[in-house]
Amino acid sequence: MPRIYDSMPATQHLAIAVCFKAPTQLALAFAAQVGQFYDRTEFDALARRTSDLYAIQNPEDANLFRTRLDRRLYDRYHTPVTWHVSAQVSTPSTDASPDVAASGRAA
């Protein structure tokens, strides 16, 4: 007989985790699993959804989750999560200096 948890969609799994786990605990768990994602954009999207779920309950919890996750990623030599995604992604021009091309902004 399947468990109730197994019959729920993944979005509800995340909502349940947010309800029962502290932001610091989930941030630690997320940071430990960052290497399991082949595409980092999927990891960032999952982290943003988790932050949004925390923000519904308490904006301070969402901020704590984002801060702790970025800190744990930094400690593991990973880049922080892209928290704000713009709809239009532009690519740097080929005639730009290496500093502009690498960071997307002038030095």
Query: Residue ranges per domain, the chain?
Result: 14-83
> What is the rounded CA–CA span in Å between residue 5 and residue 11?
12
Mean pLDDT, the chain, as a whole number? 82
Does position 89 have pLDDT exceeding 70, yes or no?
Answer: no
Percent of the chain with pLDDT over 90: 50
Predicted confidence band at 88 (pLDDT cuts at 50, 70, 90)? low
H or E stretch at 30:
helix 23-33
Model pTM score: 0.72
- Read off φ and ψ for residue 22, nearest 5 degrees: -70, 150
pLDDT-derived band of residue 97, with 50, 70 and 90 as boundaries? very low
Distance CA 7, CA 10 (A): 9
What confidence score (pLDDT) does residue 2 get?
79
pLDDT greater than 50 at residue 96: no
Mean pLDDT, range 59-64, rounded to an integer: 96
